[in-house]
Structure 1
Amino acid sequence: MALIDVPSPDSTQHEVLDYFRKKADGYDQVDEQVYWRLSDQLLWEALQEYVLPHVPVGGRLLDAGGGTGRWTQRILRERPDLTCVLFDLSPDMTRHATAKAEEGGYLQRLTVVNGDLMDVEHRLAGDLFDLVISFHNVLGFVADPDEVLRQLVTLMAPGAQMALVLPNRYHTAFFNVHVGMLEDAESAVSDARGRFTPDMPVMHLFTPELLHERLVGLGLTVSVRTGFPTLIYPGYQETQIEGTSAGVFRSLSDPQSYERILKMERRMLAEPSLAERGNNLFFVACQGPAS
Structure 2
Amino acid sequence: MNKKEFDNFFKPYSKNVDNASKHGFWKLSDSLITQIIKDNIPVDINEETVILDAGGGTGRWVCDLSKVYKSRFIIYDLSNHMLKKAMRNIKNADIENRVQFIEGDLKNMERIEPNSVDYIISIYSPISFIYKKEKAFSEMYRVLKKGGKIIIMGHGFYNAIFSKINNFCTEAGVLDVLDKEKMVKWGERVPKLNVFSKEILEDDLQKAGFAPDKTYGIPIFVQPGPEDFDSENIKKSKISSALEKKDFFNEVFKLEMKYNSQPTVANRGMNMFAVAIKN
TM-score for both structures, normalised by structure 2: 0.91
Residue correspondence of structure 1 range 90-129 to structure 2 within 5 A: 90-120=79-109, 122-126=110-114, 128-129=116-117
Gaps of 5+ in 1: 1-10
SS at match of 1:161: strand
> Aligned residue for 1:3?
none
Q: Pick one of 187, 201, 208 that aligns with 2:191.
A: 201
The match for 1:188 is: 178
SS of corresponding position for 1:273: coil
Q: Aligned-pair distance for 1:60?
A: 0.6
- Report % sequence identity: 21
Distance of 1:196 and 1:237 partners within structure 2:
14
Kept in 1, the 8 Å contact 2:161–2:175? The answer is yes
Shift of 1:202: 0.7
* Corresponding residue to 2:215 among 205, 225, 234: 225
Once residues 59 and 13 of structure 1 are traced to their aligned partners in structure 2, the CA distance between those partners, rounded to angstroms, is: 32
Say which SS state the counterpart of residue 42 (structure 2) adopts: helix
Per the TM alignment, residue 186 of structure 1 is displaced from its structure 2 partner at its CA by 4.0
Once residues 275 and 46 of structure 2 are traced to their aligned partners in structure 1, the CA distance between those partners, rounded to angstroms, is 16
Residue of structure 2 in register with 1:7 after alignment: none
Structure 2 residue aligned with 1:280, among 252, 271, 275? 271
Offset at 1:68?
0.5
Q: 1:67 to 1:249 in 2, by over 3 A?
A: closer
Q: Read off the aligned partner of 1:166 and give its amino acid letter.
A: G
Structure-1 separation of matches of 2:80 and 2:160: 28
Q: CA deviation at 1:198?
A: 2.7
SS in 2 for 1:66: coil
- For each residue in 1:207-250, what CA deviation from the matched residue of structure 2 results, as whole angstroms up to 9, or x when unmatched? 1112212222322222221212111111222222312223x146
1:161 aligns with 2:149: yes
Equivalent residues of 1:228, 1:281 under 8 A apart = yes
When residues 218 and 53 of structure 1 are mapped into structure 2, their CA distance, relative to the original with a 3 A threshold, is farther
1:237 and 2:227 matched: yes
Q: 2:131 aligns with which of 120, 143, 150?
A: 143
- What letter is aligned with 1:90? S
Alignment RMSD: 1.9
Q: Does 1:20 align with 2:10?
A: yes
Conserved? CA contact 2:183–2:193, under 8 Å: yes
Alignment partner of 1:205: what SS?
strand
Question: What is the Cα deviation at residue 278 of structure 1?
Answer: 0.7
* CA displacement 1:135-157 (0-9 Å, x = unmatched): 11211111211111011100011
Normalization by structure 1: what TM-score? 0.88
Change (3 A) 1:191 1:96: same
CA contact (8 A) 2:121 2:152 kept: yes
Q: Quote the Cα distance in structure 2 between the aligned partners of 1:128 and 1:100.
A: 25
Greater displacement, 207-216 / 41-50: 207-216
Any conservation in 1 of the 2:217–2:261 contact (CA below 8 Å)?
A: no
8 Å Cα contact 1:224-1:285 kept in structure 2: yes
> In structure 2, what residue type is equivalent to 1:275?
A
User: 2: distance between equivalents of 1:193 and 1:181?
Assistant: 17
How far apart are the structure 2 equivalents of 1:275 and 1:285? Answer: 16
String of CA shifts for 1:127-175, please: whole Å, max 9, x gaps: 6100011111211111211111011100011211100111011111211
Give the secondary structure class of the aligned counterpart of 2:21: helix
Residues 35-74 of structure 1 correspond to what in structure 2 (within 5 A)?
35-53=25-43, 58-74=48-64
TM-fit CA distance, 1:124:
2.0
Matches of 1:286 and 1:127, distance apart in 2: 13
Return the structure number with greater helix share.
1
Give the deviation of 1:261 after TM superposition.
Answer: 1.2
Kept in 2, the 8 Å contact 1:226–1:273? The answer is no
CA distance in 2, matches of 1:73, 1:225: 25
Q: Structure 1 residue aligned with 2:73, among 76, 84, 96?
A: 84
- Aligned counterparts of 1:155 and 1:20: Cα–Cα separation in 2: 26
Equivalent of 1:268 in 259, 264, 267: 259
